[in-house]
Structures are given as structure tokens and as C-alpha cells.
Copies of this chain bind each other. A is one copy, B any other.
């Protein structure tokens, strides 16, 4: 099956304790599509500027990603610069130049209209809702958001949440969205806003999926997947988007969407996130094999499963 991601394509400057890179291809839609491309056919809707050319297109094409939905606009591509200190959990933003991304109006090519799975990466919530409404035939919609929208566009975001099946956010975002400091209570409040499942990403501690009662089959409990303890995290940028790509890509590769499938998807999300941070930018995600991915899946299993 196929999945459509709508989000940002960018060029990043990143500095971390492991080094420094400039002008590398990045953005949520890029990380997402490369990660998902190991599981399913990926389609992208995004906007880029005149500085995005054949070299960048090749990165997507080598992974079989359909980029007919990438709009080329006059001006420069979105650019972001960030620096990570010893605490790799948070970047200091050095600059954000939205450029062509500022006026992004997602346009869905006709050829994409039959896409079965949809991922709304972190963009303005009203745009997310518009895309979701246009893609009326999708089987499952995943969605990301961030503090900026929770603070500044909460009413719009709550409308969007009524239209999505799975929301993927982190601990802080969950607590802020729910107005509640206890995580499982916050999770239940967020589920009451619309999604059938909520994936909370805990950074180096993995992720937990909470299910709305009765959604995706029966079961009383949430489910937790680990991350791999990594001795050298070179660049945490895009870990969350790569997680989403592994999670959603795996779902799109499955016939049935049961709780067991969503649990395995949570593991694949962690696996793709763990690969992403091993190199700067999308380098590691460009050159994986499905064998490497499944071998790491096994490592994740060994990390958490009793004999």
C-alpha cells in the first residue's frame, strides 16, 4: 500500500559534540519518507525553492519515493540551524528561515488521491485538517504537532485532532495539550479529543502507545517500546520524524490494523529513530537494508523480552 506525507523539506546546519554540517537535506517530510520507504510506497507533498535540484531529488528517487507532489516555488527552501550541547535532548535554534515554506499551501496531485495512509507532519493545524478532508478515502491518518501550535492555535488543533487516528507527540506536548501533568491521565484526555491511539515519544526512553477503549481491538493496557542505548548520538535532528516514518510505514505494509500490528509498528518506529541519529542528517536512512532493519528489530526485542 502507499502513504502520503505532507510536511517540510529543508536544508539544515547542525552542530553537535560529534561535529558540524552545513546545508544538508533535512525537514520532517524528508526524514519521514526515507524511513517509511523501507516498508511501503511513499508520496510527498511539500514545497522547495530554487536551491533544491537534481542532487536532492536523487536522494528521494534512490529510495523509490514519489516526489511529484513537491512543489517548486520561487525563492529559497526552508532553512534551519541548530546546535546540540552535551544534553542531546534539546537543540538551541541558531536560525529559522521559513522562506518558501512560509506560504505553503499543500496541493494534492490527482495521482495521490487514492493513497491509503496519510501522515500530517508538523505544519499549521488548519492546513493539516484541509489535507485530511481532501483525502477522504484514507484508511488511517497519523499526525504530529508541536508546542508552538498547542499554545498558539489550540482551537484549530483540536478540530484537526477530531480527524486523525493516531497522534504522535512527546511527553511535554502531551502534558501541555491535556493541561495535566500525570502522563496516563494526560493521555486519556488527549484520546478524548479524537485520536484512537496516542503515541508518546520519550526520547532516549522509547515510546508508549495508549489506545482509546475498544480502538484497534480489545486490550486494557498501553504498550511501551524501547530505544537502543547508543554510545554516540551524532545528530538527534529528525529522530521523531524517522520514528513516525518507521511506525506509519510499517502500518501501511500490513493488511490488518490490530493492536498487535500497532505494537510492532512502535518497535519499528524506535528502530528507524535509532538509525537516524547515528549519522548527521539523513545519511544513515539513505543506505539501509531491510535486513539491517530487521536485525535491529531483533535487538529491540532482546532488549525488552524475557526468555
Residues of chain A whose beta carbon lies under 8 Å from any beta carbon of chain B: 86-87, 181-185, 187, 202, 204-206, 208, 210, 221-226, 229-233, 260, 263-264, 267, 299, 301-307
Q: List B contacts of A202 (CB < 8 A).
A: 205
Smallest beta-carbon distance A183→chain B, Å: 6
Max count, chain B CB within 10 A of own CB: residue among A202, A231, A233, A299: A231
Smallest beta-carbon distance A132→chain B, Å: 29
Asked if residues A260 and B205 are in contact (CB atoms below 8 Å), the reply is: no
Q: How far is the CA of A67 from the CA of B161 in the complex (A)?
A: 57
Quick one: given A305-B304, A306-B264, are A229 and B208 in contact (CB under 8 Å)?
yes
Q: How far is the CA of A181 from the CA of B89 in the complex (A)?
A: 11
Asked if residues B260 and A307 are in contact (CB atoms below 8 Å), the reply is: yes
Asked if residues B86 and A229 are in contact (CB atoms below 8 Å), the reply is: no
Q: List B contacts of A185 (CB < 8 A).
A: 231
Q: List B contacts of A205 (CB < 8 A).
A: 202, 205-206
Task: Kindly list 14 other residue pairs between chains A and B, CB separation below 8 angstroms, not including A223-B304, A304-B305.
Answer: A86-B181, A87-B181, A184-B229, A184-B230, A184-B231, A187-B229, A224-B226, A224-B304, A225-B304, A263-B307, A264-B306, A267-B306, A304-B304, A305-B306
Q: List B contacts of A226 (CB < 8 A).
A: 224
Q: How far is the CA of A183 from the CA of B301 in the complex (A)?
A: 20
Asked if residues B183 and A229 are in contact (CB atoms below 8 Å), the reply is: yes
Asked if residues A229 and B222 are in contact (CB atoms below 8 Å), the reply is: yes
Q: How far is the CA of A182 from the CA of B18 in the complex (A)?
A: 12
User: Which 8 pairs across A and B sit closest by C-beta, in order of nearness?
Assistant: A205-B205, A184-B229, A86-B181, A224-B226, A304-B304, A260-B307, A184-B231, A185-B231
Q: How far is the CA of A305 from the CA of B263 in the complex (A)?
A: 9
Smallest beta-carbon distance A85→chain B, Å: 9
Contact of A303 among B222, B267, B303 (CB under 8 A): B222
Q: How far is the CA of A49 from the CA of B208 in the complex (A)?
A: 45
Q: How far is the CA of A303 from the CA of B181 in the complex (A)?
A: 21
Q: List B contacts of A208 (CB < 8 A).
A: 229
- A226 (CB) vs chain B CBs: closest residue: B224
Q: List B contacts of A225 (CB < 8 A).
A: 304
Smallest beta-carbon distance A225→chain B, Å: 8
Give 19 CB contacts A-B under 8 Å: A182-B232, A182-B233, A183-B204, A183-B229, A184-B231, A187-B229, A205-B205, A208-B229, A210-B229, A221-B302, A222-B303, A223-B303, A223-B304, A224-B226, A263-B307, A264-B306, A267-B306, A304-B304, A305-B305
Q: How far is the CA of A305 from the CA of B86 in the complex (A)?
A: 33
Q: List B contacts of A304 (CB < 8 A).
A: 223-225, 304-305
